[in-house]
Amino acid sequence: MPAFRYRAMSAAGQAQQGMLEAPDLDQALDRIHRMGLTPVRLEAQGTSQPNSRAIPFLQKKVTPRDLILFTRQLETMLDSGLPILSALEILHAQTVQPKLKMAIDRVRSDVEQGSTLTEALYRHPDCFPRIYVNLVFAGEEGGLLAQMLDRVATLLEYEAETDQRIRSATFYPTLIVTELGLAFLVLIKFVLPRFASLFRNFNTALPLPTRVLIGLSDFFEHQWIPFVFFIVCAAAIAVVWSRTERGRTTIDRIIVTAPIFGPIFLMTIMSRFSRVLSALLASGIPIVRALDIVRGVVGNKVVEVEIDRMRDGVVAGQGLAEPLRGSPIIPPLVVKMLAVGEETGAIDKMLLRVSRYYDQDVDYAVKNLSTAIEPVLLIILGAAVLFTALAVFLPLWNLMNVFRH
């Protein structure tokens, strides 16, 4: 008969664990209930965790939807007064996503052994991003874990919705540019070589656009292996460089200063920064400690440098707004609102207003993203079509003139 290991709570609130035999899981649960216990954990003896032996990179990734659902459920249970271990037990039992299920079980085990929830989550970066862990840490520090989990879930939902809107707005331009690239490759691979052999039979100078395309065609015909090798090496070097401090800072600076998309990303970061800092200050966390926590939440090295300036300014007695005056990254609106908040003693309320303002701005910018991209797309398409037409038809025109003479 199968054996089951159980962990349960008695009516007096004492934890008990042991082994019992039963034909199946349902009858094992019945036996535990007849013992006057409330089951917390029950598993067949000798069974392994799902997918524990699976190859890591072949496992299905944890999606934002999975993380949002987990966060919402955990927040609801904690807000209802359920102990965190019991909440994690229930979430482990009902989670379907294999990778997240295994991570929840390990988090529960770490918490049971004395780790904080932040420390337990930090050990699973493939399931819980750094920003997520830092927000949970902020909740634990302020004694408002359930409230912070609610804000985390709201933030994840908002960012997932914004990401989906950006994908929808850029789908058509991306499709057009991809098709244009494929058409260009077909042109230089199959069409131009035939024209090139025709043009070379006549003693006439070829126009510059035609020479450029023929040169590209010859290059890809004879040098494609070194070219692919160069691309692979360059990509590997770029990945390694992006993981360095200087590389990450450079990339983050490009992200917030890039045309069209840069302002959207910066507004999203400012909204997150303002909302989290407002919540920390409202919960009574000292401002220097709050800045240390929010530094790990913004997810951008360039903005982190500005937050360090704020913290140093607070320590030096300059306040929050003064160190940011003239900053090339932090918008003037944030600086002015911080200054007003310091004067009125309501920094948390002002920051919350800043967050709401940028949320509305991001919504407006995303809705008008297609309108902003269309002129750039038309210029690229027009230039590509014009260049290709000149490359193909100018030599034909020259040949016609040769035949006339």
**Helix, strand, or coil (residue 32):** helix
Summary count for the chain: helices (H), strands (E): 17, 3
Q: Encoding tokens for residue 247? A: 């590389």
Give the chain's length.
405
Consecutive sets of 10 residues in the chain, 405 residues long: mean pLDDT of each?
Answer: 69 69 72 75 54 50 89 89 88 88 90 88 87 80 80 82 80 83 80 71 73 81 86 94 91 90 89 84 81 84 92 89 89 91 89 90 83 82 84 74 60
At 139 the pLDDT is 80
* Amino acid type, 163: D
Q: Encoding tokens for residue 116? A: 């904080």
* Amino acid type, 275: R
What CA–CA distances, in Å, run from 39 to 15, 26, 270?
10, 12, 45
At 50 the pLDDT is 44
Give pLDDT tens digits for 337-396. Answer: 999 999 888 888 999 899 899 988 988 888 887 777 878 888 888 888 888 888 877 777
At 404 the pLDDT is 60
Determine the Cα–Cα distance for residues 392 and 228; give it in Å rounded to an integer.
Answer: 27
Q: Number of C-alpha atoms within 13 angstroms, CB side, residue 160?
A: 13
At 113 the pLDDT is 85
Determine the Cα–Cα distance for residues 223 and 228; give it in Å rounded to an integer.
Answer: 9
At 132 the pLDDT is 84
Whether the predicted model's global pTM rises above the 0.75 cut: no
Give pLDDT tens digits for 203-248. Answer: 667 788 888 888 887 787 788 888 889 999 999 999 999 989 899 9
> Could you tell me if 73 and 79 are in contact, meaning their C-beta atoms sit under 8 angstroms apart?
no
> Could you tell me if 334 and 270 are in contact, meaning their C-beta atoms sit under 8 angstroms apart?
yes
